[in-house]
Amino acid sequence: MIEHEAVEQPNNSTGETMSQDAGWGGAAQGGAPHGWGAPQGWGGRRMPPPPEPGVIPLAPLQLSNIFNGAFSTMGRYWKALFGFTAAVYGAAAVAFAATLLIAFSAVHDHIDSLQASSEETDVPWDDITPVLVALGIVLLIGVVVFVLALALVQAAAPAVLQGAVLGRPVTFRAVRETAVSRLRAMLGTVFLTGLIGVVPVVLAVGFEASLVALVVSDGDSDNAAAFLGISVLLLLVAGPLASWLWVKFSLAPTAVVLERQGPIAAMRRSSRLVRGSWWRILGISLLGQMVAGMASSVIQIPFSAVALFSSALTTPNMDSDTTLTTVLISMAGIVAIALAGQLIGQIFVSTFPPLILGLLYIDRRMRTENLAQDLATAAGLPPQPAYAPPQYGHQAPEPGQALYGHPGRQPGDTPQAAPAPHPGPAPQPGTAPRPGSGPGQDGNSAP
């Protein structure tokens, strides 16, 4: 049997070792890709399967690896992931409900007065103004609470992945501490990425609305059609621009947590990682969003059915003399059931897509920065083979080219001399030399 020559493993010097407490440091840019290649190598050499200490193999990920890893993370770490997400959204719902109740109790007299006003009577502004102010305050507080909850959940998914990839236990306390410690940076990232992606669309829609309103007020239908066409063109330009920016910075939230980057640095990091894989990240991200949306709709079906049935039983008991306050009180249970379904569906929608993006971030770093070696080291595994994409058709390597991405001997390289044999201990006076101890007499090789 012919023994294959061992391939020397390169030293792993890029990146920082991942731990449960520290993030994943960014590796040096511009290096050769690393990781695991195809299972069948050149010349009949077969690579062993990549190690899988956690939810994914430590190798460049395929589509099935990414989705299986996301579902496995949700199945193995559901207590920490879903528990923290439910606690965050539950606290946000309680805060918003308390704000709504306080605002309603402050202006319910004005609401009853507006309801009692007949169509012939002019509606007094003394009743309209407090209601509008209260509604504005409730909406503002709701937006702030929702953004805070979104930032915390966005930070929780990478925090869980940090341990799930290595197969380590993840606790609720660890997720909470990581998410809270990265809240400020995550808020900045969510705000900037949302602003960049939403502004082009908002500008186009606002321009369209203003032009249509201006033309309709003048009564010129020809100009209205022309302005509407211009607005559609603006939307066609703003839509692709927003999509491009969204994908370009989609990995920034993961970099904020795993590399402890600031908002601007995380966005630059995401831009570098996405480069060369924009379409792949777009397709997998959209597929993840579709799966999350369909799952959320299925989850909400029974809650919506119960709420609809309860509404059908409650509505016939009301008449035209029933006040708005009575209606809201009687509908509180139905609204609570519907909100419970929305909350459970929102938990899945808020956790699954970030897990997909987190695994895409890990995949990009394993393909470009030798992250698989760092993860194997952090998991206590031996050094893993390096990766380079094989040539089409599994062609044999050219002369001087080594297997699996290891740099072979290049023209002009100085050949290295073989290391000198260890002299061993000097013989003691009065002792005879051992048989086979001389040069070329080790018993395994011919002189």
Per DSSP, the residues of 116-132 read H--TTSPPPHHHHHHHH
Residue 67 CB contacts under 8 Å (≥ 6 apart), including other chains: 288, 291, 356
Residue 123 CB contacts under 8 Å (≥ 6 apart), including other chains: 114, 117
Q: What angle do CA 222, 227, 229 make, to 5 degrees?
A: 100
In order of 9, 41, 65, 66, 377, the CA distances from 381 in angstroms are: 14, 22, 20, 22, 6
Q: What are phi and psi of 241, to 5 degrees?
A: -65, -45
Q: Residues in the chain, how many?
A: 447
Where on the phi/psi map is residue 161: left (φ > 0), alpha (ψ -120 to 50), or beta?
A: alpha
- Could you list the pLDDT tens digit for every one of the 447 residues in the chain? 433 433 333 344 333 434 334 456 654 444 444 444 444 444 445 667 888 999 999 989 999 999 999 999 999 999 999 999 999 998 998 898 899 889 888 887 777 676 666 555 566 677 778 888 888 899 999 999 999 999 999 999 999 999 999 999 999 999 999 999 999 999 999 999 888 877 777 777 767 676 666 666 655 556 666 666 777 777 777 778 888 999 999 999 999 999 999 999 999 999 999 999 999 999 999 999 999 999 988 988 888 787 777 666 565 555 555 555 566 666 666 777 777 888 888 888 999 999 999 999 999 999 998 888 889 888 888 766 655 443 333 333 344 433 223 333 444 444 444 444 444 444 444 444 444 444 334 433 333
